[in-house]
A and B are shown apart, each in its own frame.
Chain A
Amino acid sequence: MIELNDVRKSFGDNHVLRGVDLSIPKGESLVIIGGSGTGKSVALKCILGLIRPDSGSITLDGRDAFTGDRDAYLQRFGMLFQGGALFDSLPVWQNVAFRLQRGALKRPADEAREIAIEKLRRVGLKSDVADRYPAELSGGMQKRVGLARAIAAEPEIIFFDEPTTGLDPIMAGVINDLIREIVVEMGATALTITHDMSSVRAIADKVAMLHDGVIKWHGPKEDMDASGNAHLDQFIHGRAEGPIEAVR
């Protein structure tokens, strides 16, 4: 269970998170939605410890995220970055097997490569991709490689940062389906941030809407369309009029 209690974060005068309260039970797939610049990525990076919140607490199974063994904490997570964040200098298989080649999860090179190729197959890529470099791949293929890297060490929790941004609708659908399949198959806890409503409907068990630095609505995906929440209604229907200012 991941719990955020009254998490606040500012950058200078820009108060991005103004008291976020959120809990994600084990095995649940939560999608955080919200407009650009509303603090979705900051919230996610706070959980991972990439950004330290100004106040509030973040716990994983009751343990504080910022104390104790950071490596052990991070080993429980996999992350798909918005742009893939693949390492340009390494071939695809070494990107996928990065965690399996160093640290506590280190395996022999042959075994790490085999696992990488198996994970690449799992995300629909052939083994001949393994020796290519990230710059030689299309955007959709890079996302798949990023997804393979996120699941390579079979983490308990997987984060997806804007998984379909920059993809055509068909490829976005393929990635959404893959994410859903993998999360269900692994029994992983998933946290996705997106403003793509097709991703929300494909991936989510529950949805949380972040606006003005706080969670405006949190509930099951099925209740989203009849929530009666003005912010959520405006967002999911893409209306210019409503409580969310169209020009930010």
Chain B
Amino acid sequence: MKWLAAFGAFVLGTLAAIGRVAIFSGQTASHLLRPPFYLREFGQALMNVGYLSLPVVGLTTIFTGGALALQIYAGGARFNAEAVVPQIVAIGMVRELGPVLVGLMIAARVTSSIAAEIATMKVTEQIDALVTLSTNPMAYLVLPRVLAGLLVVPLLTGIGDIIGIMGGWLVATQTLGFNSAAYLDNTINFLEASDIWSSLAKGAVFGTIATLMGCYFGMGSGRGAQGVGRATKSSVQAAAVLILAANFLLTGVFFSS
């Protein structure tokens, strides 16, 4: 019976955690329509989540696009299908690798930094100080970051998709003997609008998950350095797992037919 009790405790714990995240999300969303709005904090969040993430997104996707081209060429050669490199790189990057890699990079770079920053603010009583200064921490700290994730990560995903495709193009034209114009033609002609919209939609969901998890675990941090460390670790774990799970669900929704 011990295993049953443990399983029950796990289920209850999971449901309680889902409930807490749902309440936290609802509280965050409720400030969308209620002033005051903190535009300066929103601007800073846009810079931090978007602009400052560009280098890591660019490097990750260009190398992945290049590696993908090499793999598809090598695999395709087994059944004389080397010519499909542009099409498969394009669809692989736009539908799957672009949004997932950008989501995971945002989880690594942004989720961790948001969680550590807010957790440190909590431990050093800065969150309490905000409240005593008549400033709601959900409106001041959480909403600008989550909104920035929702709006700017799709943009990053689009940029990541393009850079990834260019990585494949670079490898294909420089080492695999593809014609540059034909490669780009094949890429553009093969991609459909739904591929691009699904990629951007995934980016919006992943950006929201990544920033929300950083804020949720930061605000719920325990005391001391250990509390900050645990909040940071948990936020990245949760964001990465939720991004991959959401990717599976969204892929099913967008492409199952």
Contacts and interface: CB of A to CB of B under 8 A. Distances in A.
Q: Do A and B come from one complex?
A: yes
Interface of A: 45, 48-50, 70-71, 74-75, 77-79, 81-83, 85-88, 98-99, 102-104, 149
A77 B131 CA distance: 11
Given A85-B124, A102-B36, A103-B36, A79 B134 contact: no
B244 interface: no
Given A85-B124, A103-B135, A79 B129 contact: yes
A88 B122 CA distance: 12
A78 B132 CA distance: 7
Contacts of B125: 81-83, 85
Q: Which 4 A-B pairs have the closest CB atoms?
A: A85-B129, A85-B125, A79-B132, A71-B134
Contacts of A102: 36, 38, 135
A85 B126 contact: yes
Contacts of A88: 120-121, 126
Q: Do most interface residues of chain A lie in helix, strand or loop, or is the interface mixed? A: mixed
Contact of A50 (B120, B121, B132): B132
Interface of B: 36, 38, 120-121, 124-126, 128-129, 131-135
Given A102-B36, A103-B36, A48 B124 contact: no
Contacts of B120: 88
B138 to A, nearest CB: 13
Contact of B131 (A74, A75, A83, A149): A74
21 contacts: A45-B128, A50-B128, A70-B134, A74-B131, A75-B134, A81-B125, A81-B129, A83-B124, A85-B125, A85-B126, A86-B129, A87-B126, A87-B129, A88-B120, A88-B121, A88-B126, A98-B133, A98-B135, A99-B134, A103-B36, A103-B135
A85 B120 CA distance: 10
Contacts of B134: 70-71, 74-75, 99, 103-104
Contacts of A45: 128
Contact of A99 (B38, B124, B126, B133): B133
Contacts of B36: 102-103
A244 B4 CA distance: 46
A117 to B, nearest CB: 19
A149 B129 CA distance: 10
Contacts of A98: 133, 135
Contacts of B131: 48-50, 74
A45 B133 CA distance: 14
B77 to A, nearest CB: 54
A79 B130 CA distance: 11
A50 B129 CA distance: 10
Contacts of B124: 83, 85
A102 B39 CA distance: 11
B135 A85 contact: no
A81 B135 contact: no
| Most central of B121, B125, B126, B132 by chain A CB within 10 Å | B132
A102 B135 CA distance: 8
Nearest to A74: B134
A3 B121 CA distance: 30
A85 B36 CA distance: 23
B5 to A, nearest CB: 21
Contact of A74 (B38, B121, B126, B132): B132
B31 to A, nearest CB: 14
A83 B135 CA distance: 19
Given A48-B132, A86-B129, 13 more contacts: A48-B131, A50-B128, A50-B131, A74-B131, A77-B132, A79-B132, A81-B125, A85-B125, A85-B126, A85-B128, A87-B129, A88-B120, A88-B126
